[in-house]
Chains A and B, each alone.
Chain A
Amino acid sequence: MLIVLLQATLPAANLPFLFAAFTVAWVAFFAYAFFVSRRQQELRKEIAELRRTLEQQEPEDAS
């Protein structure tokens, strides 16, 4: 009963801090995961392009 009364009188002023903390955590983890996966895609594309260029130049060098 006491706990119920205490809960009912607790200030709701703390709620913005609760949501701010969760938002910061989520945004940080999502941003990092997004950055890593986007960079990975860019690098894979770059590796594939570089390999293609090297393969195209090899027959030219042989001739």
Chain B
Amino acid sequence: MLGNGVRQNITGYLVVLSGLFMLADLYLIFVVAPTDAVLGHVQRVFYFHVPIAIMSFLAFFLVFLASIAYVVRRDGKWDRLAHSCAEVGVVFVTVALLTGIIWGRPLWNTWWTWEPRLTTTLILWLIYVSYLMIRSHASNQQQAARYSAVVGIVGFVDVPIVYYSVVWWRSIHPSPVVGPFAQANALEPIMLWILLFSMVTFLLLFAYLVAERTALRNSEDRLRGIRLVARRAGR
């Protein structure tokens, strides 16, 4: 495990780096990226919306891996990682849903429609909100870790469903622009490069938030341990 000093240094570098990348990303999105001929300026939401959604998939994939590792090894560090990634993932998927709703309003003339991509993403959000609720309502840490690990493993099933939903059921949501089902030349090269830069930017932000949340979870566990010692000593 990393020491506190090393972890604080890494977190410090990550926050500075993600801040610098975010500024450069805003410049690329608002100044360099061409305006979409059909959708107009609102299409620039794409450079935020898509990377944020992909980072939420990454978060839930890490929850899945860490939950399996916890079930196999019963080591608390995997539970701490899964818990932190789940919480950060919920933040990312919430922002992805909200930016999608705002982007969809001028294009589809509605705030919400029960089409496959939106519906499966809402289900994904509900699964990981339940993950966090199970944790907060469990009677002890071991129970919270065990129950949430099951949800973390089973709940991940929805992630590929969200991704493939636009391939399996064609509807008004655009097809994937990255990944195995992306159409060739779906994006202009400059748009693709800016999208990739945005992905790196949000990857840095994601890493920073997970590092901070994991440090917070470590502090919560440490405090719980000290309180337990004090209570056992009859103080």
Contact = CB atoms under 8 A, between A and B. Distances in A.
Interface of A: 2-3, 6-7, 10-15, 17-18, 20-22, 24-25, 28-29, 32-33, 36-37, 39-40, 43-44, 46-47, 50-51, 54, 57
Q: Is the interface of B mostly helix, strand, loop or mixed?
A: helix
Given A13-B106, A22-B48, A51-B226, A39 B216 contact: yes
5 contacts: A13-B106, A17-B42, A17-B102, A18-B42, A32-B91
Nearest to A46: B223
B103 A50 contact: no
**Chain B contact patch, size range:** 35 or more
B99 A24 contact: yes
B37 A28 contact: no
Given A25-B48, A28-B94, A39-B216, A33 B102 contact: no
Interface in B183-235: 205, 208-209, 212-213, 215-216, 219-220, 222-223, 226-227, 229-230, 235
A17 B219 contact: no
Contacts of A21: 42, 45, 48-49, 98-99, 102-103
Given A10-B35, A24-B95, A32-B88, 5 more contacts: A11-B40, A12-B41, A28-B91, A44-B219, A51-B226
B105 interface: yes
Contact of B103 (A13, A17, A51): A17
Contacts of A32: 88, 91, 209
B99 A25 contact: yes
Nearest to B45: A21
Nearest to B212: A36
B52 interface: yes
Given A21-B99, A43-B223, A54 B230 contact: yes
B134 to A, nearest CB: 20
Closest 4 CB pairs of A and B: A14-B42, A10-B40, A43-B219, A21-B102
A29 B102 contact: no
